Amino acid sequence: MIPTRSGSARVQALAFKAYEIEELADVWFFRPLGAVVARAAAALGLTPIQVTVAGGLVGMVAGALLYDESLAFAAFALLIVHSVIDSADGQLARMTGQVSELGRLLDGDGLHWLDRFERLYASAGADLPRDRVRSAFDAAEGHAASDPDIERAGFETMIERHVSWQLAHLELADRALHEHLVGGFIEPARACARANVHVLAELAGRGLRLGVVSNGCGNVDVLCADFGYAPYLSVVIDSRRAGVAKPDPAIFTLAARRLGIESSAIMMIGDSFDRDVRPAKAAGLLAAWLEGEIARECPDPSLLDLRLRRLVDLPASIAASARDVA
């Protein structure tokens, strides 16, 4: 049985900011051109991180050229190119679903990290539109996906860095806000993790083999040990280390192979229909969908073997369904 630590569903279209919070130049120039670059990058198989790095390099060159007045026009042109690329990387991430997934399920009962951070900004009195919070969150996810040090980071360190990256993107040097976001995120996540340890212990005590499949940042095993899950897990699949990520069904096939169990005897529990349920079913697994605290419309009930609101309900749901899972 594979309880997953999953993330948001893949976004199929380009994401533009609300017109009310953007400058006219963004609405009519940088965003449309960024969309063209994003589509071209997608066609070439480029990742958002690669586009971000390219934009950063262009910006650095432009800054260097500004030191020479005779090159001011070239510097200005490169700054425009930098702004277009800066608009493209986030659109590419949302268009292709190539965003890193930090924990959603085993530390939050299916509540997306973005939603949690949005609530924390609001409770701190920070008047930020959701689109701006999303932009900061995506920027932090991009850093997490490429930062080599994150592979050794525990939960507190990871959240500290994530919040720092968000606030840097927002250009907010506010220590009190930083502490509010970090503390307000960590405490309920730890409480949820403590409850879920009991769930894993109960399931493992029944003889079930458990595992985690995650689009992670290379530190999923560190986080599982940090949360106290490691003693109950037979396999941990981290996409950054495995070289394959959800929604590719191959990541679930890999988990089944490492467990040494037939896919049809394994149940995947995840909160994203597109990233968890669909690929798991395509790989031949049973699938349980964790809706979270707010009821959601199910895209395709025929794909579900179980439907949950909280992870703590899983043991009783499995017993009631009489499913033969490993």
Residue 276 maps to which CATH number?
Answer: 3.40.50.1000
Q: Which residue among 96, 125, 158 closes a domain?
A: 96
- Quick check: 90 and 15 in contact, CB under 8 A? yes
Domain with 206 in it: 2-10+192-321
- Quick check: 108 and 7 in contact, CB under 8 A? no
Q: Total structural domains in the chain?
A: 3
If asked whether residues 169 and 225 sit together in one domain, one would say: no
Angle of helix 175-205 versus helix 113-123 axis, rounded to 10: 140
**pLDDT of the chain, 326 residues: tens digit per residue:** 443 333 332 222 333 333 333 456 655 777 688 778 878 887 787 776 678 778 778 878 888 888 888 888 888 898 888 788 877 766 665 445 444 444 455 555 556 788 899 999 999 999 899 999 999 999 998 888 888 899 999 999 999 999 999 999 999 999 999 999 999 999 999 998 998 899 999 999 999 999 999 988 899 999 999 999 999 999 999 998 898 889 999 999 999 999 999 999 999 999 889 999 999 999 999 999 998 777 788 999 999 999 998 888 899 888 877 555 65
Q: What is the pLDDT of residue 91?
A: 61
If asked whether residues 217 and 232 sit together in one domain, one would say: yes
Contacts for 205 with CB less than 8 Å, ≥ 6 apart: none
Site of tokens 């005897």: 265
Domain assignment of residue 102, yes or no:
no
Q: Which residue among 32, 61, 96 closes a domain?
A: 96
- Residue 284 CA to residue 83 CA, distance in Å, equals 44
If asked whether residues 240 and 308 sit together in one domain, one would say: yes
| Pick from 307, 257, 310, 311: nearest CA to 284 | 257
If asked whether residues 197 and 292 sit together in one domain, one would say: yes
**Is the bond leading into 148 cis (omega within 30 degrees of zero)?**
no
If asked whether residues 196 and 317 sit together in one domain, one would say: yes
Q: Tell me the two tokens of residue 73.
A: 């026009």
For residue 93, the Cα-to-chain-centroid distance in whole angstroms is 11
Q: Tell me the two tokens of residue 209.
A: 């083999």
If asked whether residues 199 and 277 sit together in one domain, one would say: yes
